[in-house]
Copies of this chain bind each other. A is one copy, B any other.
Amino acid sequence: MRVTIKDIARETNLSPTAVSLVLNHKPNKLSAESRELIRSTAERLRYVPNQLAVGLVTRQTHTLGLVIPDIANQYYATLASGMDVEARKHGWNILFSNTDDQSKNALESLKLLSSRGVDALILAVASDINAQSRAEYREFIQQCNIPVVLVNHEEPSFRCSTVKLNNKAGAYDAVSHLLSLGHRRIAYITSDEDLHTPTERMLGAMQACAEMDVPFLTEDVRSGQYTTGGGALAAEALLQKPITAMFCFNDMMAFGALKTIRQMGLRVPEDLSLVGFDDVPFSALLDVPLTTVRQPAYEIGRETVRVALSEIEDGKRSKQHIQFEPELIVRQSTRAVSKEK
């Protein structure tokens, strides 16, 4: 049986109250000897407070609930690692739950985590939240009484804090880079799902084209699953067209596209420029290091936890909306469009 506060009380001939007061450094009127006795006894018996009981009475568990689509995905793993570091730095822990990209699971996970008394919820959804579940989410967020922080997603009706990347600016930079290299016919590979993030990125791409007076052709846009397979498939269709560059929704899709490009006998960047998004660690390691848009996933994770903790302290008063700026990383998969052609 685990040693409890009562064991220490019995051992020291003092009361549980005394033990609790001393071990929690609460103001108390115990004599110096009693204090020391309690402390040393606790140490000797290796007393560790039962956090379930503590949480029950204080209504604080020092635990953050994290709902994430897929921890095996490099991007989310990095995000989670930043969150864990920041949380632990402040003495918090993370209870996490994978949803396997299913939005239904996500709501269930939220409820479950909240029933475990987490002090705040962090929600990073990837797949679409449809109209029906949107209402359920909203209701839950409204009535759950703890701060919720949304990552990489905007949903004003939820009325919760958000931390995200400026996706539009990232895509804008990427496409502007291609345009400045002389590319005029650019293919776009985006995500299947009707989501916030890909939409924002497409808007950034369009804006870049508009500013340079280059037409944005919808026929040059293909979508697919955001995996290497999805990228490969989309590239196949797009390579039929007279394009000189390709912009992918993320690095994984770019890797897939690269495979297809090479299978067709084309070289990057000689025949085609290629840009990704995310800057996953592997992008720098490719034989042709990938030009991409860096998303500071680790920092986003840390900031998300900071926002959550500050809301916990605030008592959920103020909502924050934080946007990180991306950075274009020019490597070797892009170059000026060749003259002859």
Contact = CB atoms under 8 A, between A and B. Distances in A.
Interface in A78-102: 78, 80-81, 84-85, 88, 93-98, 100
A339 interface: no
B93 A88 contact: no
Contacts of A145: 1-2
A53 B51 CA distance: 11
Nearest to A297: B72
A84 B111 contact: no
A72 B100 CA distance: 18
Contact of A93 (B48, B77, B112): B112
Nearest to A105: B88
Contacts of A52: 52, 55-56, 61, 116-117
Number of copies: 2
A167 interface: no
A49 B85 contact: no
Interface string A42-65: 000010111111011000010100
Contacts of A74: 72, 74, 77
A72 B61 contact: no
Interface stretch (A185-193, A198-206, A280-288, A327-335): A280-288
Contacts of A306: none
9 contacts: A52-B116, A56-B56, A70-B81, A71-B80, A81-B98, A93-B116, A95-B96, A282-B282, A286-B287
